[in-house]
Amino acid sequence: MSEHAKPRIAIYGAGSVGGYLGGRLHEHARVTYIGRRRVIDALRLRGLAWSDLHGHRGHIPARALDLQIDPFAAAKANLILVTVKSSATEAAARELAGVIAPGVPVISFQNGLHNTEILRAVLPRHPVLAGMVPFNVLQRGPGIFHQGSAGELMVEANHALAPFLPLFAAAGLPLSARNDMPAVQAAKLLLNLNNAVNALSGLPLREELSQRAWRLCLAMAQREALAVFAIAGIRPARLTPLPPGWLPRVLEMPDAWFRRLASRLLAIDPLARSSMWEDLEAGRPTEVDAINGEIVRLAAMHATQAPVNARLVELMREAERQRHAWRAKQLLEELRVA
C-alpha cells in the first residue's frame, strides 16, 4: 500500500498507551501524535521506540513521526484514538468537536467507566466507541514504550471500524469486537484496582503479585468492588480464564499455589509496572479517582460504602504530595481498619 493510500489515524494523548499504539500502527497507517509539549519534544529529540514481552521491538526516527501539539492536527484523520487521562476527557472532546470531520469514528482507549459517555455528549455526529487496553504499558524513558503483559485490544462492535480492522491486525494489535463493553470495562476496572496497590508498593508488577501480603490488599479491594457491582446490578465480563468472582480467592492463595496458577493465566514480564506508579515517579496526578474512586462513587449512589477503596484513594492522594515507602503488611493493616 502506498503511503498516500494509508488511512490517517490521530492519537489524541501521546503518552504511554498512545505512544505504544501509535508506534505499532506506524507502518500500516499515517499516524499523527497529538500531545503535551514535553511529550512531543521528547519524541522530536529521540524518536519513538517500542517493545513487548514477546521480544518484538521497533524504532521510528523523529523525522518519520508526525508530532503535533495543536488539536487541529486531527482535522484530516479517518480515525481518532483518545488516550488522554480520564480527567482530561471533556477538554479533549471539546477540542476535537471543532476539528474532526463529521462521521469520523472515535475510540476511547482509556481507564474508567464514563469516558465514552462524556465523549458522546460532546461529539454527537460521530460514532464514539468504548475500547479497552488489557495490557500494561510502561514508558521506560522519554519516547520508549514497553508492553509488559499480554492481552488483546477490545472495542465496541460497529460497522464504522471495518476499514481499520485489517491494519490493526497487521500491526499485531487485533481488535476484538464486543457487544458487552460496559461489562468489559467493569472487569478491567476490577483488575485496575491493583494500580494503586502497585504504586504504593514501589515494586514491579510481577514482584508485587508474587507476595501474598500485597495480593491480600488487592483481594480486599476487589471483594469490596464485586459487592458494590452486585448491588448496582453490574456483572463484569470474564476477561481471564477465571470468572471475576474467583479472582480474590486466587489472590489469597499461598505464594507457591498462586505462582503455579498465575503462570498459566497471565503473562507479565519483569519490567511491567502500573501507570499509577509511573505517574508518581514523574510527579503527575494519578487516575485513582477514575479507578478506586469509581467504586467509592458507585457505592455512594447505592447508599453503601467502599472503605477499602476510599482509603486507597486517600493514600494515593497523600503519595502524590509526598512519597511514602509502604511495606506490604503495613498497608494490609491500614486497609483492614479502613
Q: What is the pLDDT of residues 136-162, one digit of tens each?
A: 999 999 999 999 999 999 999 999 999
**pLDDT, mean of residues 49-67:** 96
Is there a single domain that holds both residue 161 and residue 225? no
3-state SS, one letter per residue, for the chain: CCHHHCCEEEEECCCHHHHHHHHHHCCCCEEEEECCHHHHHHHHHHCEEEEECCCCEEEECHHHCEEECCHHHHCCCCEEEECCCHHHHHHHHHHHHCCCCCCCCEEECCCCCCHHHHHHHHCCCCCEEEEECCCCEEEEECCEEEECECCCEEEECCHHHHHHHHHHHHCCCCEEEECCHHHHHHHHHHHHCHHHHHHHHCCCHHHHHCCHHHHHHHHHHHHHHHHHHHHHCCCCCCCCCCCHHHHHHHHCCCHHHHHHHHHHHCCECCCCCCHHHHHHHHCCCCCHHHCHHHHHHHHHHCCCCCHHHHHHHHHHHHHHHCCCCCCHHHHHHHHHCC
| CA proximity to 93, closest of 70, 116, 69 | 116
**Residue 262: is its pLDDT beyond 90?**
no
Is there a single domain that holds both residue 249 and residue 291? yes
Is there a single domain that holds both residue 278 and residue 142? no
The domain that holds 119 is classified in CATH as 3.40.50.720
Is there a single domain that holds both residue 297 and residue 210? yes
User: pLDDT (tens digit, 9 = 90+) per residue, 100-150?
Assistant: 999 999 999 999 999 999 999 999 999 999 999 999 999 999 999 999 999
Is there a single domain that holds both residue 105 and residue 230? no
User: pLDDT (tens digit, 9 = 90+) per residue, 63-74?
Assistant: 999 999 999 999
**pLDDT, mean of residues 254-264:** 84
- Domain final residue, candidates 142, 158, 179: 179
**pLDDT, mean of residues 25-29:** 96
Q: For residue 3, what pLDDT is reported?
A: 66
Is there a single domain that holds both residue 31 and residue 59? yes
- How many Å apart are CA 110 and CA 152, to the nearest integer? 15
**Residue 1: is its pLDDT beyond 70?**
no
**Residue 266: is its pLDDT beyond 80?**
no
- What residues form DSSP beta bridges with 108? 82, 130
Domain that includes residue 311, residue range:
184-336
- Domain final residue, candidates 161, 179, 197: 179
Q: For residue 2, what pLDDT is reported?
A: 58
- Domain final residue, candidates 179, 208, 228: 179
Is there a single domain that holds both residue 55 and residue 129? yes
Is there a single domain that holds both residue 166 and residue 285? no
Q: For residue 4, what pLDDT is reported?
A: 67
Widest distance between CA atoms in the chain:
62
The domain that holds 301 is classified in CATH as 1.10.1040.10
Is there a single domain that holds both residue 121 and residue 66? yes
Is there a single domain that holds both residue 126 and residue 84? yes
Is there a single domain that holds both residue 228 and residue 155? no
Work out how many domains the chain is built from and give that number. 2
| CA proximity to 182, closest of 163, 156, 161, 213 | 156
> Confidence class of residue 264 from pLDDT cuts 50, 70 and 90?
low
Is there a single domain that holds both residue 64 and residue 132? yes
